[in-house]
Amino acid sequence: MRTRVFSKSAEGLVAVAVGAVVCAAFVPALASAAPTGAVHTLPTGSVDGGSSGSSGSSDGVRTATVDDEGEQLTLRLHKMNLRGSEFSMAVQDSDGELTDAVIPAPRSYIGSVEGRPDAIVSAIVDSAGTLRGQVIFDRGVSIEFVGSEVVGRSTAPIDAKPKWPTAAIAPASAARVGKTVKQFVVGLDLSGEWYSAHGAGSAAVALDRAEESMARTAAIWIRDVGIRPVLGRVVLRADSAGDPYSSSCENLEQLEDLWSDQVGSSVDQATVVCASGGGNAYYSKFELDHSYAHVGAESDGNFSRVLRHELGHNFYADDYHGGGAEGSTIMNGNDLSRFDGTEFAAIVDAAEVASARLDDVGRYTASPIPPYAALDTARVRSGGTVTVDAVANDHDSNGDSIKVTGVGATSLLGGTVKLENGEVVFEAGTKAGTDRILYTLTDAAGGTSTGWIIVDVSA
């Protein structure tokens, strides 16, 4: 990470939540303590057995099976170290002192599903030896699993009524995304209230939830915007008496006071994790003193759903960015595990502005990643014809070549669609309104995604 200094504006704070808007109350800041010489040794589950239900292979790929309502999904998992070069964990006791933890070896995975070229998997093997994570399919549909059992799934439809976007879509220059992957380092402050609700009295379980949340978040960010968030320092407030967030967890001023000497040096961004609820984040183009957020956890202690959204604010994607053009995507209701085309455009633009604060880690080759089909738009009169170069602003985060390999023959409003010389040719029907065309994007490795072209058909 690299340091860049910006001045803070009064307009920098955005209040955000999943399903509701909440604002954080600010309290006086408290000082943090330096680490002592004591250590906590964290156990790790066996990655070759235990209750994970997974097995290794000679090519280094781990396989596992998940039962999705009777369909057996075979996961192919590739080890992915989602820890920064200075990764560490410290546990705060009742005196406010921090003691270092001896941490287990990296145990995060990114992978794919056999027979599902649209899918991406994120997972960890936790301290009990159990594989747990998320599978994301085309257009952001997702399931969450523990062992071989599905324990949650998204509910929003992927065929929501299209809306003409109210923010810019990505230009053709966005096709450069994924040629090399960028990286930033997140510092996590696990509050006492979060630990009491979800930590099971175990620093090992706390780290399990932190690393699973980061793996889920990273899979989406790598695939959609070519940026990989990784864990830097993790601080666990294990004793409520010593917790600086005891009076209010939803407190960005407190977070800044505790982390400002580390953001820009050992980490690039800092987040405090609360027991439940939504979150707050600074809305900026990843400016140094705006790289803070607080997030609430779900009932199992995982906080990736709110984290993926709040990090979007730190990269200049607003609440309901683009007006929900593609449905309940991450910044537009946050049920689908996908950034829409306007959210994508905002984040990659901010990443370009903040490029000095992001590390270039080269081409991503650890596992196959499906391509990202960015939103396109067009305008045409009813009965008229328009040609769209849909692939122009699409990308693949493996750096693979991509092309449009198919189109839906009929648009939402009954227009005719053809694929000619790699471009989408649309003849509008007689109905005026906001129309939608579907196309299939395929990368050189066979990964696929479905893209939308939203068309304003005028009378």
pLDDT at 59: 60
Side-chain half-sphere exposure of 360, counting CA atoms within 13 A: 9
Query: Token digits for 76?
Result: 């192919």
| Buried-state track 173-188, b at ≥16 Cβ within 10 A, e below 16 | ebbebbeebbbbbbbb
Report the C-alpha gap between 229 and 303 in whole angstroms: 14
pLDDT at 11: 33
Model confidence, pTM: 0.90
Quote the crossing angle between the two packed helices 304-314 and 203-225, to the nearest 10°.
Answer: 50
Contact 207, 42 (CB under 8 A): yes
- Structural domains of the chain sorted by starting position, each given as residue range(s) with its CATH number in brackets: 16-357 (3.40.390.10), 376-458 (2.60.40.10)
Side-chain half-sphere exposure of 106, counting CA atoms within 13 A: 17
Structural element, H or E, at residue 345: helix 341-353
Structural element, H or E, at residue 454: strand 448-458
CA of 187: how far to CAs of 43, 91, 200, 360, in Å? 22, 14, 22, 19
Report the C-alpha gap between 76 and 73 in whole angstroms: 10
Cβ neighbour number for residue 49 with a 10 Å cutoff: 11
Query: Token digits for 208?
Result: 């399990």
Report the C-alpha gap between 201 and 252 in whole angstroms: 26
Contact 277, 17 (CB under 8 A): yes
Name the E strands within 318-432: 359-360, 376-381, 385-388, 402-407, 416-420, 423-427
Contact 331, 362 (CB under 8 A): no
Residue 403: strand pairing partners: 442
pLDDT in tens, the chain (459 residues): 323 233 333 333 333 333 322 233 222 222 333 333 445 677 655 443 334 456 665 466 899 999 999 999 999 999 999 999 999 999 998 788 999 999 999 999 999 999 999 999 999 999 999 999 999 999 999 999 999 999 999 999 999 999 999 999 999 999 999 999 999 999 999 999 999 999 999 999 999 999 999 999 999 999 999 999 999 999 999 998 889 999 999 999 999 999 999 999 999 999 999 999 999 999 999 999 999 999 999 999 999 999 999 999 999 999 999 999 999 999 999 999 999 999 999 999 999 999 999 999 999 999 999 999 999 999 999 999 999 999 999 999 999 999 999 999 999 999 999 999 999 999 999 999 999 999 999 999 999 999 999 999 999
Cβ neighbour number for residue 37 with a 10 Å cutoff: 6
Cβ neighbour number for residue 456 with a 10 Å cutoff: 15
pLDDT at 60: 66
Cβ neighbour number for residue 430 with a 10 Å cutoff: 11
Closest CA to 345 of 380, 314, 317: 317
pLDDT at 48: 37
